Amino acid sequence: GAVVSQHPSWVICKSGTSVKIECRSLDFQATTMFWYRQFPKQSLMLMATSNEGSKATYEQGVEKDKFLINHASLTLSTLTVTSAHPEDSSFYICSARDLAHTRYEQFFGPGTRLTVL
Amino acid sequence: GEDVEQSLFLSVREGDSSVINCTYTDSSSTYLYWYKQEPGAGLQLLTYIFSNMDMKQDQRLTVLLNKKDKHLSLRIADTQTGDSAIYFCAESISLYGQNFVFGPGTRLSVLP
């Protein structure tokens, strides 16, 4: 099946620094990738939809200047949390849709746990 | 807007059947999904059902859809300890599967 990886799997950073999270589709091409965040014991909330070669579409309430998304190729999307603060600590999960696969399925990465001190 | 609800916890004994329920509000939902999340991991698609179906069975999993009541259920037969996880119900409004709306997740605990 289609595999999506994320790197790093966990990261701890100081308040005020920026953190980049990578999402890669390993064995398929993904025109669209999605970024979610999940707070402890809560559901996933869609942050933004990332289309290869174009600007990401952010959900209401998500600051695009704080969460920078770049989808430079069909296999890679990055999420940069700029000037991170403790309230940004969360589990960030990406998903990708396969061009050649059935349209209704998204393949999820394993997630990145961000802790901001 | 769209809303998906689930009960938050379910405990069953090993070998029993588990039934996880979900309700949704948007009648135009095209696809409904069940995902499994194990501790510290991403989501794994378990099964899905199209809105024009009533039931789908896949080995130990049975999905029932009552479109009139906007109710979806997942039955796991012969529940095992390895089934302990959080189960998310999700709906997709778009025909092309974008913008999933997830429920809060049901934490299934399987007791020996």
Q: Give the model confidence (pLDDT) of B54-65 as tens digits.
A: 999 999 999 999
Q: What is the mean pLDDT of chain B?
A: 89
Q: Which of A104, A112, A115 to mutate to test the interface with B (most CBs of B within 10 A)?
A: A104
Sequence length of chain B is: 112
- What is the pairing mode between strands A67-73 and A90-98? unpaired
SS3 A6: strand
Strands (E) across B1-105 are located at 4-6, 9-13, 18-24, 31-37, 43-50, 55-58, 61-66, 71-76, 85-92, 100-102
Contacts of A95 in chain B (CB under 8 A): 43
Alpha-carbon span B14 to A90, nearest angstrom: 32
Could you give the strand order of the β-sheet that contains B71-76, starting from the edge strand earlier in sequence?
B4-6, B18-24, B71-76, B61-66, B55-58
Q: Which pLDDT value is given to residue A95? A: 92
Nearest chain A alpha carbon to B46? A105
pLDDT exceeds 70 at position B95: no
CB B12 within 8 A of CB B107: no
Lowest mean pLDDT, pick from A1-5, A52-56, B26-30: B26-30
Q: Pick the residue with more confidence: B55 or A31? A: B55
pLDDT exceeds 80 at position A47: yes
Q: Which pLDDT value is given to residue B84? A: 96
pLDDT exceeds 70 at position A22: yes
- Give the 3-state secondary structure of A57-87: EECCCCCCCCEEEEEEECCEEEEEECCCCHH
Q: Which pLDDT value is given to residue A107? A: 86
Q: Which pLDDT value is given to residue B2? A: 65
pLDDT exceeds 60 at position B31: yes
Q: Pick the residue with more confidence: B101 or A98? A: B101
At residue B28, φ and ψ (nearest 5 deg) are -90, 10
A105/B48 Cβ within 8 A: yes
At residue A107, φ and ψ (nearest 5 deg) are -105, 130
DSSP β-bridge partners for residue B20: B74
pLDDT exceeds 90 at position A115: yes
DSSP character at residue B83 = G
B97 reaches A (C-beta below 8 A): yes
Alpha-carbon span A90 to A112, nearest angstrom: 8
Average pLDDT over residues A48-65: 90
Average pLDDT over residues B91-104: 73
pLDDT above 90 covers what percent of chain B? 61
CB B76 within 8 A of CB B60: yes
A110/B95 Cβ within 8 A: no
For residue B49, give both structure tokens.
């059902």
Tally Cβ neighbours within 10 Å of residue B28: 9
Task: Please report which confidence band the pLDDT of residue B96 belongs to, taking 50, 70 and 90 as the band edges.
Answer: low
Contacts of B30 in chain A (CB under 8 A): 104
pLDDT exceeds 70 at position A46: yes
Looking at the complex, report in whole angstroms how far the Cα of residue A32 sits from the nearest Cα belonging to chain B. 9
Q: What is the mean pLDDT of chain A?
A: 89
Interface of A with B (CB under 8 A): 4, 6, 32, 34, 42-46, 49, 93, 95, 97, 103-111, 113
Highest-scoring range by mean pLDDT, A30-34, B38-42, B50-54, B70-74: B70-74
Q: Which pLDDT value is given to residue B85? A: 96
Average pLDDT over residues B107-112: 95
